[in-house]
Amino acid sequence: RIIELCHQFPHGITDQVIQNDMPHMEAQQRAMAINRLLSMGQLDLLRSNAGLLYRIKESQNASKMKGSDNQEKLVYQIIEDAGNKGSIWSRDIRYKSNLPLTEINKILKNLESKKLIKAVKSVAASKKKVYMLYNLQPDRSVTGGAWYSDQDFESEFVEVLNQQCFKFLQSKAEAARESKQNPMIQRNSSFASSHEVWKYICELGISKVELSMEDIETILNTLIYDGK
């Protein structure tokens, strides 16, 4: 509610304004809430003739956007709304902003030079650059995740992982058979969870990139499709 009040009065609010808006809140509770917002960097504390003023803190990007014209702000907003899926490229921006392409290209270059946005190549379309905010990590749907390097599919890497996962499951099955226990216990001990397979692959150290459980499950699914 304090944040909402600060948005309503962008020049700042006094403690009295907060008190009037929330008369049932105790002074100690109010002070705790304000201190928390100050420590989280969401509020600025200023002195004025009326006493202490609390004002919403501008984000780093907002302060960088100061002095930008409305067209630049509009393009930035469109890219910000797209998130890290990188679903936004110059044609989408043109469609959403109604600006000519030459103007959009100029704005994109300007925003890139200010390190507010970045262009990322998409595996879905090699000649297509998508845009996202500078500090975002692109989604795996854009980069292709662990299986792609510079937009090239790493088929040898996938094959090595395929073989190693199979080898691990095979050794589990052999160990279970050699245990000479009853068939039900043998069958159960031959199973391995995807976490166990992931741990084994990580300990082998054959991957230069950090593999997730999801990556290993993708490989295990290829073994199922191969009938292995």
Of 113, 114, 215, which Cα lies nearest the Cα of 161?
A: 215
**In whole angstroms, what is the distance from residue 17 CA to residue 4 CA?**
12
Look up the CATH architecture of domain 1-56.
Answer: Orthogonal Bundle (1.10)
Domain ranges within the chain, ordered by starting residue = 1-56, 67-143, 153-226
Q: How far is CA 209 from CA 121, 140, 145, 167, in A?
A: 19, 13, 9, 21
Of 20, 17, 22, which Cα lies nearest the Cα of 48?
A: 17
| pLDDT of 166 higher than 90 | yes
Q: Do domains 1-56 and 67-143 have the same CATH topology?
A: yes
Amino acid at 220: L
Find all residues with CB under 8 Å of 37, minimum gap 6, and list them.
2, 3, 43, 54
pLDDT in tens, 112-141: 888 888 887 765 555 567 788 877 766 655
Q: What pLDDT does 181 receive?
A: 80
- The answer, as to whether pTM is greater than 0.75, is no
pLDDT in tens, 59-79: 555 556 665 677 888 888 888
**In whole angstroms, what is the distance from residue 38 CA to residue 56 CA?**
10
According to the CATH classification, is domain 67-143 in 3.40.250.10?
no
Q: What pLDDT does 61 receive?
A: 56
Mean pLDDT for 205-216 is 78
